[in-house]
Structure 1
Amino acid sequence: MSTLFVVIHAIAASGVVLLGPIQILRRTKDRKHRFIGRSWVILMYFVCVSGMLIYSLTGSFTAFHALAIWTFISTTLGVIAIRRGKVRRHIFMMVGSYLGALTAGIFAAIIPGRDIPRLAVSDPGLLWSLVALVIVLVTAWAVYVLRFVSGQDRVSAVIGDAVPTDGTPAPSGAAAAPAV
């Protein structure tokens, strides 16, 4: 059972690491950003929960365990922040969560005796096949979203400007937001 959690953890963590730069570096924070962002948050939750299950099976509390708890909290706080319109707090929490996951991944890969270094020695073909598979799947998902998901938010049929739906005044000349 522990192996299943390790596989889920590794695949989800790889997705988090690969999707993070797309979210951080894209200038437009539009519907595509939210689409990929929701995927990223789901993957991050899988990383945290599977990490907790891995640690509970080993019976030891480590720095990685504490990091999983903090990352779950900070990711949730980032989601709450953007839902409340606190963009700077959202950015701070999400970038922090990403950097924490990246740091944990680097340490997991370089600390002898952990699963990644053991797999790299015992079966490098399997390790690199899994890495390639995850890269292909995450890239395909990102390309699909960036290419086929509409980038604009709710759009006014009259002018084509994005129209807020949170009760804030619409831009000058824009139609009222459609009912959802």
Structure 2
Amino acid sequence: MEPWNVLLVSHVIAALFVLAIGPLQILRRRRDRIHRTMGYVWVSAMYYVCFSSFWIVSDGHFSWLHGLSAFTIVTVTLGLVSAIRGNIASHLGNMIGSYIGIAVAFAFAVTVPGRAIPALLATDPASVVFVCGLVVLSTVAIFVSLKRGGRAGGPARTVAAANVTPARARS
């Protein structure tokens, strides 16, 4: 079993963000600014998960998960380029396929004995629940913040709008 270190912890947290953001992106009907912004966050986290995996090795050897990481780098890039070019069918296929790939990798990482996550689940389940809760809460906070457009309250008032008096009041 690999010891927990900064690389492994950051890899797992980024993967949890990918898993949390994915359904929001896939299931939302609107493809708007929120979708685009959350998509860039998702792509960044996905790239981090894939590239960081090459430094996480067991017994100094790569596994099939590293092959999946290389393949996912290609499919995420193709999905991103497809969206930019307006090829929505290709974008959808590549991104959903990438999400399925990371879900399979996550299932493997959680269920195979001898890996770091099952060991942590057995020894410190409260930490796992806490971190997962923080990731979900952070994802919701980002989404709500984007949905509100960065406003704390209602629409922002400008100085010009505040100083305008109705025409009836001037006479």
* TM-score, reference length from structure 2: 0.81
40, 46, 61: which one aligns with 1:44: 46
Q: Aligned residue for 1:130?
A: 131
Give, in whole Å, the separation in 1 of the partners of 2:116 and 2:148: 36
Q: Is the 8 A contact 2:20 2:135 kept in 1?
A: no
Give how far 1:149 is off: 5.8
Instruction: Provide structure 1 residue ranges, at least 5 long, that are not aligned to the other structure.
Output: 151-180
The equivalences for 1:67-146 within 5 A come to 67-146=68-147
Q: Is the 8 A contact 1:19 1:142 kept in 2?
A: no
Letter in 1 for 2:10: I
Give how far 1:2 is off: 6.5
Give, in whole Å, the separation in 2 of the partners of 1:121 and 1:91: 37
Stretches of 4+ aligned residues off by more than 6 angstroms: none
Q: What per-residue deviation string (whole Å, max 9, x for no partner) do you get for residues 72-108 of structure 1?
A: 1110111111112211001000000011111111111
Q: Is the 8 A contact 2:34 2:143 kept in 1?
A: no
Relative contact order: is structure 1 or structure 2 higher (C-alpha 8 Å, sep ≥ 6)? 2
Give, in whole Å, the separation in 1 of the partners of 2:41 and 2:68: 20
Letter in 1 for 2:143: A
User: Which stretch shows the higher mean deviation, 122-131 or 39-48?
Assistant: 122-131
Q: Aligned residue for 2:62?
A: 61
Q: Aligned residue for 1:31?
A: 33
Q: What per-residue deviation string (whole Å, max 9, x for no partner) do you get for residues 98-130 of structure 1?
A: 111111111111111111100011211222221
Give aligned-pair identity as a percent: 39
Give, in whole Å, the separation in 1 of the partners of 2:47 and 2:146: 20
CA RMSD of aligned residues (A): 1.8
Structure-2 change in CA distance of 1:49 and 1:58 (3 Å)? farther
Q: Aligned residue for 2:164?
A: none
Instruction: Provide structure 2 residue ranges, at least 5 long, that are not aligned to the other structure.
Output: 152-171
Give, in whole Å, the separation in 1 of the partners of 2:150 and 2:44: 18
Give how far 1:135 is off: 1.5
Q: What per-residue deviation string (whole Å, max 9, x for no partner) do you get for residues 146-179 of structure 1?
A: 23269xxxxxxxxxxxxxxxxxxxxxxxxxxxxx
